[in-house]
Amino acid sequence: MDGKRAFGSAKVQLGCIPPTVWQTNFTDRVTLPVYLNYLFNRLMAPHHDYRFMVTSEREAFIRASFPSEVIEAYEQLQIGAAQADLWRLLVLQKYGGVYMDIDAHLVWPLHWTIPSNATEMYLRIKGGEISNYFIASAPNNPRLQRLIDRVVQNIQSRSSDNVYNLTGPGVFNEVLDSASVPTTYYLTTVNQGNFTNEFFQYLDKPQGKWTKEQHKVSVLKPLD
Protein backbone atom coordinates (compact mmCIF):
# COMPACT_ATOMS: atom_id res chain seq x y z
CA MET A 1 0.00 0.00 0.00
CA ASP A 2 1.46 3.34 -1.02
CA GLY A 3 -0.28 5.83 1.27
CA LYS A 4 1.92 8.49 2.86
CA ARG A 5 3.13 7.29 6.25
CA ALA A 6 4.33 10.52 7.91
CA PHE A 7 1.57 11.39 10.35
CA GLY A 8 3.10 14.76 11.16
CA SER A 9 2.32 16.19 7.71
CA ALA A 10 -1.47 15.78 7.75
CA LYS A 11 -3.43 18.87 6.76
CA VAL A 12 -5.37 20.68 9.47
CA GLN A 13 -8.12 23.15 8.65
CA LEU A 14 -9.47 24.89 11.70
CA GLY A 15 -13.16 24.46 12.34
CA CYS A 16 -13.89 21.76 9.77
CA ILE A 17 -12.96 18.19 8.90
CA PRO A 18 -9.55 18.05 7.19
CA PRO A 19 -9.42 16.19 3.83
CA THR A 20 -7.39 13.27 5.18
CA VAL A 21 -8.30 9.58 5.32
CA TRP A 22 -6.73 7.55 8.14
CA GLN A 23 -6.40 3.78 8.19
CA THR A 24 -4.44 1.18 10.14
CA ASN A 25 -3.66 -2.51 9.96
CA PHE A 26 -1.33 -5.00 11.62
CA THR A 27 0.69 -5.16 8.39
CA ASP A 28 1.19 -3.15 5.21
CA ARG A 29 1.49 -6.35 3.17
CA VAL A 30 -2.07 -7.16 2.21
CA THR A 31 -3.92 -9.57 -0.05
CA LEU A 32 -5.28 -8.53 -3.45
CA PRO A 33 -8.91 -8.08 -2.24
CA VAL A 34 -7.77 -5.75 0.55
CA TYR A 35 -5.59 -3.80 -1.90
CA LEU A 36 -8.50 -3.48 -4.35
CA ASN A 37 -10.63 -2.19 -1.47
CA TYR A 38 -7.95 0.44 -0.81
CA LEU A 39 -7.77 1.43 -4.49
CA PHE A 40 -11.54 1.85 -4.68
CA ASN A 41 -11.47 4.17 -1.68
CA ARG A 42 -8.70 6.23 -3.24
CA LEU A 43 -10.90 6.55 -6.34
CA MET A 44 -13.84 7.66 -4.23
CA ALA A 45 -11.83 10.20 -2.25
CA PRO A 46 -9.60 11.88 -4.86
CA HIS A 47 -9.44 15.17 -2.96
CA HIS A 48 -8.27 13.55 0.29
CA ASP A 49 -4.77 12.77 1.47
CA TYR A 50 -4.18 9.23 2.73
CA ARG A 51 -2.40 8.29 5.96
CA PHE A 52 -1.70 4.73 7.08
CA MET A 53 -0.04 3.31 10.20
CA VAL A 54 0.94 -0.20 11.22
CA THR A 55 1.04 -1.28 14.86
CA SER A 56 4.50 0.09 15.70
CA GLU A 57 3.71 3.46 14.11
CA ARG A 58 0.49 3.76 16.12
CA GLU A 59 2.42 3.32 19.36
CA ALA A 60 5.12 5.81 18.32
CA PHE A 61 2.47 8.41 17.47
CA ILE A 62 0.70 7.99 20.81
CA ARG A 63 3.94 8.14 22.79
CA ALA A 64 4.92 11.36 21.01
CA SER A 65 1.56 13.09 21.28
CA PHE A 66 -0.32 12.19 24.47
CA PRO A 67 0.11 12.23 28.25
CA SER A 68 1.27 9.27 30.31
CA GLU A 69 -2.27 8.34 31.35
CA VAL A 70 -3.24 7.67 27.73
CA ILE A 71 0.05 5.94 26.90
CA GLU A 72 -0.27 3.63 29.90
CA ALA A 73 -3.86 2.76 28.98
CA TYR A 74 -2.85 1.96 25.39
CA GLU A 75 0.01 -0.23 26.64
CA GLN A 76 -2.47 -2.37 28.58
CA LEU A 77 -4.24 -3.47 25.39
CA GLN A 78 -3.12 -6.84 23.98
CA ILE A 79 -5.45 -7.15 20.99
CA GLY A 80 -4.78 -5.10 17.87
CA ALA A 81 -8.43 -4.20 17.28
CA ALA A 82 -8.69 -2.65 20.74
CA GLN A 83 -5.47 -0.72 20.14
CA ALA A 84 -6.87 0.52 16.83
CA ASP A 85 -10.10 1.57 18.56
CA LEU A 86 -8.23 3.94 20.86
CA TRP A 87 -5.74 5.06 18.18
CA ARG A 88 -8.49 6.18 15.77
CA LEU A 89 -9.94 8.49 18.40
CA LEU A 90 -6.53 9.89 19.27
CA VAL A 91 -5.37 10.52 15.71
CA LEU A 92 -8.63 12.28 14.82
CA GLN A 93 -8.49 14.34 17.99
CA LYS A 94 -4.92 15.39 17.16
CA TYR A 95 -5.16 15.96 13.41
CA GLY A 96 -8.80 15.49 12.36
CA GLY A 97 -9.94 13.75 9.20
CA VAL A 98 -11.85 10.60 8.31
CA TYR A 99 -11.15 7.18 9.80
CA MET A 100 -12.24 3.97 8.03
CA ASP A 101 -11.57 0.32 8.86
CA ILE A 102 -9.25 -1.40 6.41
CA ASP A 103 -12.12 -3.53 5.03
CA ALA A 104 -14.56 -0.61 4.73
CA HIS A 105 -15.35 0.99 1.39
CA LEU A 106 -17.13 4.18 0.45
CA VAL A 107 -20.49 4.02 -1.34
CA TRP A 108 -20.37 7.53 -2.79
CA PRO A 109 -17.51 10.01 -3.21
CA LEU A 110 -16.49 11.21 0.20
CA HIS A 111 -16.96 14.90 -0.57
CA TRP A 112 -20.63 14.14 -1.38
CA THR A 113 -21.15 12.63 2.07
CA ILE A 114 -19.40 15.16 4.27
CA PRO A 115 -20.43 18.83 3.90
CA SER A 116 -17.49 21.20 3.52
CA ASN A 117 -18.47 23.02 6.73
CA ALA A 118 -19.04 19.88 8.82
CA THR A 119 -17.14 19.51 12.08
CA GLU A 120 -18.02 15.86 12.84
CA MET A 121 -19.92 12.90 11.41
CA TYR A 122 -20.71 9.49 12.92
CA LEU A 123 -21.94 6.30 11.30
CA ARG A 124 -25.44 5.05 12.05
CA ILE A 125 -26.12 1.36 11.45
CA LYS A 126 -29.18 -0.89 11.68
CA GLY A 127 -31.22 -0.29 14.81
CA GLY A 128 -30.01 3.29 15.11
CA GLU A 129 -26.75 2.42 16.90
CA ILE A 130 -23.45 4.16 16.14
CA SER A 131 -20.52 2.15 14.82
CA ASN A 132 -16.88 3.17 14.92
CA TYR A 133 -15.67 1.72 11.61
CA PHE A 134 -16.16 5.19 10.11
CA ILE A 135 -15.63 8.46 11.99
CA ALA A 136 -15.15 11.95 10.62
CA SER A 137 -14.10 14.84 12.82
CA ALA A 138 -12.28 18.13 13.07
CA PRO A 139 -9.38 18.12 15.56
CA ASN A 140 -9.94 19.05 19.19
CA ASN A 141 -13.49 17.74 19.24
CA PRO A 142 -15.08 17.76 22.73
CA ARG A 143 -17.15 14.66 21.90
CA LEU A 144 -14.06 12.75 20.79
CA GLN A 145 -12.40 13.76 24.05
CA ARG A 146 -15.32 12.33 25.99
CA LEU A 147 -14.94 9.07 24.07
CA ILE A 148 -11.20 8.99 24.73
CA ASP A 149 -11.74 9.66 28.41
CA ARG A 150 -14.30 6.85 28.64
CA VAL A 151 -12.04 4.34 26.87
CA VAL A 152 -9.12 5.23 29.15
CA GLN A 153 -11.40 4.96 32.18
CA ASN A 154 -12.68 1.57 30.99
CA ILE A 155 -9.12 0.29 30.64
CA GLN A 156 -8.05 1.65 34.03
CA SER A 157 -11.07 0.09 35.77
CA ARG A 158 -10.87 -3.10 33.66
CA SER A 159 -14.60 -2.73 33.10
CA SER A 160 -14.83 -5.45 30.43
CA ASP A 161 -12.81 -8.12 28.68
CA ASN A 162 -14.77 -7.64 25.47
CA VAL A 163 -13.35 -5.34 22.78
CA TYR A 164 -16.80 -4.11 21.73
CA ASN A 165 -17.64 -2.76 25.19
CA LEU A 166 -14.15 -1.84 26.42
CA THR A 167 -12.90 0.26 23.50
CA GLY A 168 -15.29 -0.21 20.56
CA PRO A 169 -18.80 0.74 19.43
CA GLY A 170 -20.24 0.01 22.86
CA VAL A 171 -18.41 3.11 24.15
CA PHE A 172 -19.88 5.26 21.38
CA ASN A 173 -23.40 4.16 22.22
CA GLU A 174 -22.86 4.83 25.92
CA VAL A 175 -21.34 8.29 25.48
CA LEU A 176 -23.12 9.65 22.41
CA ASP A 177 -26.80 10.14 21.71
CA SER A 178 -27.40 9.11 18.08
CA ALA A 179 -30.41 11.43 17.94
CA SER A 180 -28.39 14.54 18.80
CA VAL A 181 -25.07 14.05 16.97
CA PRO A 182 -24.57 14.37 13.19
CA THR A 183 -24.88 10.90 11.65
CA THR A 184 -24.89 9.34 8.21
CA TYR A 185 -26.45 5.97 7.35
CA TYR A 186 -24.05 3.14 6.56
CA LEU A 187 -25.93 1.84 3.48
CA THR A 188 -25.45 5.14 1.66
CA THR A 189 -22.06 6.04 3.11
CA VAL A 190 -19.64 3.20 3.81
CA ASN A 191 -20.00 -0.59 3.89
CA GLN A 192 -17.76 -3.42 5.05
CA GLY A 193 -16.64 -6.70 3.55
CA ASN A 194 -17.85 -6.39 -0.04
CA PHE A 195 -14.36 -6.50 -1.53
CA THR A 196 -12.82 -8.76 1.06
CA ASN A 197 -13.79 -11.14 3.85
CA GLU A 198 -12.37 -12.42 7.11
CA PHE A 199 -10.22 -15.06 5.40
CA PHE A 200 -8.46 -12.60 3.08
CA GLN A 201 -8.18 -9.85 5.68
CA TYR A 202 -6.50 -12.05 8.27
CA LEU A 203 -4.63 -14.46 5.99
CA ASP A 204 -1.29 -13.70 7.69
CA LYS A 205 -2.71 -13.39 11.22
CA PRO A 206 -3.23 -16.83 12.85
CA GLN A 207 -5.21 -15.28 15.73
CA GLY A 208 -7.92 -14.23 13.28
CA LYS A 209 -10.45 -11.45 13.77
CA TRP A 210 -10.78 -9.82 17.18
CA THR A 211 -14.11 -11.57 17.79
CA LYS A 212 -12.17 -14.86 17.83
CA GLU A 213 -8.90 -13.58 19.26
CA GLN A 214 -10.51 -12.24 22.45
CA HIS A 215 -11.63 -15.76 23.34
CA LYS A 216 -7.99 -16.89 23.25
CA VAL A 217 -6.19 -13.82 24.54
CA SER A 218 -7.31 -11.41 27.23
CA VAL A 219 -7.95 -7.93 25.85
CA LEU A 220 -5.99 -6.46 28.77
CA LYS A 221 -2.60 -7.47 30.07
CA PRO A 222 -2.82 -9.44 33.33
CA LEU A 223 -2.25 -7.52 36.53
CA ASP A 224 1.18 -7.98 38.10
Judge whether 223 lies within some domain: no
- How many domains are there within the chain? 1
16-74 pLDDT, tens per residue?
Answer: 999 999 999 988 888 888 899 999 999 999 999 999 999 999 999 999 999 999 999 99
Residues facing residue 183 across a β-bridge: 122
Distance CA 25, CA 51 (A): 12
Whether 143 maps to a domain, the answer reads: yes
Question: What's 137's domain CATH number?
Answer: 3.90.550.20
For residues 200 and 198, give the distance between their C-alpha atoms in angstroms, rounded to a whole number.
6
In a domain, 219, yes or no: no
**Percent of the chain clearing pLDDT 90 (strictly above):** 75
The pTM of the full predicted model, rounded to 2 decimals, is 0.87
Residue 220 in any domain: the answer is no
Q: Catalogue the E-assigned strands of 118-196.
A: 120-124, 130-137, 183-185, 190-192
In a domain, 116, yes or no: yes
Reported confidence tier of residue 122, pLDDT bands at 50, 70, 90? very high
- CA distance from start to end of the chain: 39
Give residue 100's domain range: 7-213
User: Which of the given ranges, 33-37, 168-172, 192-196, 197-201, has the highest pLDDT on average?
Assistant: 168-172
1 domain residue, yes or no? no
Whether 218 is in a domain gets the answer no
- Helices 142-157 and 80-95 cross at an angle (nearest 10°) of 150
Residue 182 lies in a domain: yes
User: What 3-state class would DSSP assign to 131?
Assistant: strand
At 210 the pLDDT is 45
pLDDT value at residue 14:
53
Q: Tens of pLDDT along 136-152?
A: 999 999 999 999 999 99
- Is residue 126 within 8 A of residue 138, CB to CB? The reply is no
